[in-house]
Structure 1
Amino acid sequence: MANVFDTAKYILEQSESGFMSTMKLQKLCYYSQAWSLVWDDAPLFDEDFQAWANGPVCPELFFKTKGKFSVNASDETRGIGDLSDNQKDTIDKVLEYYGKHDAQWLSQLTHMEDPWIKARAGVPAGAECSNIIHQGRERDAVQNLDF
């Protein structure tokens, strides 16, 4: 099975500018995972997302890119060999729909969706939170969107 780094590298390789903010990369990985659960009924990777103050964050990806505002494909040293053509197609569709938006827009979108809201229930705004956004909730967030 692919991991979050395979997905991140593929997303960065598809970026028109060749780089993007780490926050935007997090959100695009999150939506890629969510849509994979909806369309393919399977996750792209096993890593979890947590309900951080600025939206969903995969801690493994965060700590790999910590201290960087932006990253490019050469920053991710792991390959994309584990992604199937179907998985790449899913990510491509996510990039087509979400990729034109900036990190702040994507963050605000996640704040309006039940998975993030439910995972942060009872947590004060802006406070640290490591609650996991469960995969079923990711699926719930996007099922009603129309591609």
Structure 2
Amino acid sequence: MTNVRDIANWFLSHDSMTHKKVQKLCYYAQAWYCALYDGSPLFSDEIQARVHGPIIPSIYPVYAGYKWSTNPKADFDASALDEKLTDVLDAVYNTYGELSGDQLESLTHSEDP
């Protein structure tokens, strides 16, 4: 199982983004991975439903310090991540990466859990 901070840093290695966007991309990575691999979770951290959509409390304090400004782009070495995982992360980023945190929040609110 993968560390959720590695997932967040993988996304941040592609672009700087708000903590809301980091949270939503990690949520979608978990959802896609579970859907593609027979319910196997990508990470074991809890996901909670909150007013602004799903969050992972274990990484909230790490990235929320920037409030609504952007977290800086991360210097992350993805070589330890396997190809199956990076394929999912690439697909999630290519699908949702251009959306803002607010747009992702709206999207999560429009979908069934």
CA distance in 2 between partners of 1:65 and 1:9 (Å): 10
Which consecutive aligned stretches of 4+ in structure 1 deviate over 3 angstroms post-superposition? 79-82
Aligned with residue 36 of structure 1, among 22, 33, 38 = 33
| Pairs within 5 Å for 1:112-131 | 112-115=110-113
The answer to whether the Cα contact below 8 Å between 1:3 and 1:45 also exists between their aligned partners in 2 is: yes
Larger radius of gyration: 1
Percent of pairs with identical residues: 38
Please, what is the CA RMSD of the aligned residues?
Answer: 1.6
Which residue in the other structure is 1:21 paired with? 18
Q: How far does residue 81 in structure 1 lie from its aligned partner after superposition?
A: 5.6
TM-score (norm 1): 0.68
List gaps (5 residues or longer) in structure 2: none
TM-score (norm 2): 0.87
Aligned with residue 50 of structure 1, among 16, 29, 48 = 48
The answer to whether the Cα contact below 8 Å between 1:2 and 1:82 also exists between their aligned partners in 2 is: no
1:23 maps to amino acid: K
Which one has a larger percent strand, Structure 1 or Structure 2?
A: 1
SS in 2 for 1:20: coil
1:2 equivalent in alignment to 2:26: no
